[in-house]
A and B are shown apart, each in its own frame.
Chain A
Amino acid sequence: MIKPIPLETLTLAIQGDRRAFQEIVKCHQSFAYAVAYRMVGNRADAEDLTQEAFIRLWRNMSKYRADIKLSTWLYKIVTNLCLDFLKSPRARRRKLDNDLDDAVHVDSGLTPDAILHGQELRAQIEKATEELSPMQKAVFVLRDLEALTVEETCDVLSINADHVKSNLFHARKKISQKLSAIYETREPKNL
């Protein structure tokens, strides 16, 4: 859940106050990172994209209007950066690497088994979504993982509801087929 930013802090940030903007960064960096990581599947790239997203947010802060949510705007920036990244040659090279060993869940209440299960889950997601097109992946991440509504997804991706539904249909179908294939080839684990 994203903590709402006090109006005073927002106003100061729009006026160019860096301390106020730092508060915005602290409140929103976790969710921006989560979106980026779910899209690109790599910690270092997700951090770089998060950093770039906030730099862009800072540059355009003076253009911010109160009628749109800051989180929606940030979603838009992060998602567009991730889409550009996924289409880049660097992303195609990275696809071969898998640094999910670094993806440690910070929640200290988890047991080692739960952490391993979390890593396994993320491995599943990454494996299952690797064959999706960037737009299909974006729609799936925003709709099914970030739990945005169709209208919010349309707004973030600047596409209409039919496009969202079409991409979501193809994404869900492909992921399901991929998961079936993964489970069929996996050997039973002794837990």
Chain B
Amino acid sequence: MSCMDFEEHIWLYDELSPEQKILLDKHLLTCADCKMIWEQAQALAATSKVWQEDVPAVEHEAQLTHKIMGAIESKRDQKNSLLTLIDLINTRWLRYSMASLSVLLVITFLYDRPFAEHSTETVSHEIPEAASLTRSDFIKDRIKVKKTDDHHFSLLACIENRSCPPLIIEKKKYYENR
């Protein structure tokens, strides 16, 4: 072992095993530098003992106790009103229900599928065989119509607009008769 290894042992003398202490004691008999470090460590150990006995004391114990209990009281009052509310809603099924409802609302409001595409498919099944030749014209027509805002179908707009359902029926009849 080198002096560097012994140095660590010197500073941690009280943590050493009996065998390590014997080894260190032997080394200290022969090494002056380590002996000097040993003396510093012993001086610190003596100083630490004095520091240990000098326990910092609270200036006003009763006041500190009162301050601590007062702080606990005020936090308890704040907590009570909030806790009641949290307890009411903090059930698993309610949390899952709220999460599902939130997802459904997001999908509903973001979903904006043009109704005309659906009606195109429906109508195409009902159009007699003879009218199928005009289907490509019809599709081109629908594409043009789709570009205008007036004919762009929105579910939300339909729900808000009471005249929407009759308009849908009218359009359906129009395409059926073409």
Report A's interface with B, CB cutoff 8 A. Answer: 18, 21-22, 25-26, 29-30, 33-34, 37-38, 43, 46-47, 50-51, 54-55, 58, 102-107, 118, 121-122, 124-125, 144-147, 150, 165, 168-169, 172-173, 175-176, 179-180
A125 in contact with B65 (CB, 8 Å): no
- Contact of B54 (CB < 8 Å), options: A33, A46, A58, A121: A121
B75 in contact with A55 (CB, 8 Å): yes
B57 in contact with A18 (CB, 8 Å): no
Specify which of B15, B40, B50, B55 lies most central, judged by the most chain A CB atoms within 10 Å of its CB.
B55
Q: Assuming the A-B contacts A106-B58, A176-B43, are A125 and B51 also in contact, with contact meaning beta carbons closer than 8 angstroms in the complex?
A: yes
The DSSP consensus for interface residues of chain B is helix
B44 in contact with A172 (CB, 8 Å): yes
- Contact of B59 (CB < 8 Å), options: A54, A104, A175, A176: A104
Q: Provide a sorted-by-A list of 17 A–B residue pairs whose CB atoms are within 8 angstroms.
A: A21-B69, A26-B65, A29-B61, A30-B57, A34-B55, A34-B56, A46-B56, A55-B75, A102-B59, A103-B56, A104-B59, A105-B54, A145-B48, A145-B52, A168-B15, A169-B12, A180-B40
Q: How far is the CA of A145 from the CA of B41 in the complex (A)?
A: 15
Q: How far is the CA of A107 from the CA of B40 in the complex (A)?
A: 31
Specify which of B41, B48, B52, B56 lies most central, judged by the most chain A CB atoms within 10 Å of its CB.
B56
B71 part of interface (Cβ distance < 8 Å): yes
